[in-house]
């Protein structure tokens, strides 16, 4: 089984989000939206649902008037395939490559590939300058931009909201948290600031670890799990800490499947 965690550049139009979700309802495990990021994370299973979602998003959304604090390259911004259960990284790489070829042939949207070759942050930094799309035209689609299509292990997307902390300080804290296993950015989100993270190796650094680090430098207002975690994420953390960290059995991939 493959998981696919599609990031769509729309987080505030609830009618549109409901329409997109209904199109993939039978394969949808979770939907997380944020109006300030103007971004939604659709946690899907299988290879068909990501294509259905991408087709509908490209048809109905545009980058031309998009505003949001999160960096993005397209209306379907990130499409990572993640091996679960009896699937392997080879399965995820095949699905990645086939999705990219389909997106170009069907939607005419250029695709950048990430995984063993390069990281997603590398693409964000170099896309359409020193780095050209791996598949498709060398210029962005006029309304849909480009898609970053990846193959990766399970990660945890995690936000920590800060109290009474200016953006400059939030960015300093994000830099302190950032490492080979933690990708972190500091954002102004409405009247608050936020450390937005991808924990890419929870065996090394998990939610409790980043919470402890951030708490040494700022008062924490709240935490937020984006999408789903795994049972493995919860295992080393006392259940008495789960609520504070926005974790629960019901927010795991295993529970949803």
- State pLDDT tens for residues 92-134: 999 999 999 999 999 999 999 999 999 999 999 999 999 999 9
Q: Which of 189, 202, 208, 203 is nearest to 247 (CA)?
A: 208
Position 97 scores a pLDDT of 98
Confidence band (pLDDT; 50, 70, 90) for 68? confident
pTM of the model: 0.93
Cα–Cα distance for residue pair 3/21, rounded to 1 Å: 16
Mean pLDDT of the chain: 96
Cα–Cα distance for residue pair 1/86, rounded to 1 Å: 6
Cα–Cα distance for residue pair 166/103, rounded to 1 Å: 40
Q: What is the mean pLDDT of residues 17-39?
A: 96
Q: What is the mean pLDDT of residues 38-57?
A: 97
pLDDT in tens, 198-241: 999 999 999 999 999 999 999 999 999 999 999 999 999 999 99
178 pLDDT above the threshold of 90: yes
Task: Give, rounded to a whole angstrom, the gap between the first and last alpha carbons of the chain.
Answer: 10
Position 187 scores a pLDDT of 95
Q: Rg of the Cα trace of the chain?
A: 18
Phi and psi angles of residue 23, each rounded to the nearest 5 degrees, phi first: -70, -20
Position 58 scores a pLDDT of 97
85 pLDDT above the threshold of 90: no
Position 227 scores a pLDDT of 96
Cα–Cα distance for residue pair 62/244, rounded to 1 Å: 37
Can you read off the two tokens belonging to residue 198? 């991808």
146 pLDDT above the threshold of 90: yes
């Amino acid at each position: 089984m493959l998981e696919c965690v599609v990031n769509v550049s729309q987080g505030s139009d609830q009618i549109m989000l409901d329409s997109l979700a209904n199109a993939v309802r039978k394969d949808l495990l979770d939907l997380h939206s944020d109006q300030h990021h103007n971004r939604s994370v659709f946690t899907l299973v299988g290879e068909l649902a990501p294509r259905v979602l991408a087709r509908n998003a490209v048809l109905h959304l545009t980058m031309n008037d998009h505003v949001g604090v999160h960096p993005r390259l397209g209306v379907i911004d990130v499409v990572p395939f993640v091996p679960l259960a009896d699937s392997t990284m080879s399965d995820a790489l095949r699905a990645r490559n086939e999705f990219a070829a389909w997106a170009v042939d069907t939607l005419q949207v250029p695709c950048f590939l990430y995984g063993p070759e390069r990281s997603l942050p590398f693409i964000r930094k170099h896309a359409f300058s020193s780095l050209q799309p791996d598949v498709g035209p060398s210029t962005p689609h006029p309304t849909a931009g480009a898609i970053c299509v990846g193959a990766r292990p399970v990660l945890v997307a995690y936000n920590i909201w800060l109290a009474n902390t200016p953006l400059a300080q939030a960015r300093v804290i994000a830099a302190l948290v950032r490492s080979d296993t933690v990708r972190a950015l500091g954002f102004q989100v409405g009247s608050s600031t936020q450390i937005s993270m991808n924990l890419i190796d929870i065996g090394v650094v998990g939610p409790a670890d980043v919470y402890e680090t951030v708490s040494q430098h700022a008062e924490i207002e709240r935490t937020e799990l984006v999408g789903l975690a795994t049972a493995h994420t919860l295992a080393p953390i006392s259940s008495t800490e789960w609520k504070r960290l926005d974790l629960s059995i019901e927010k795991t991939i295993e529970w949803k499947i």
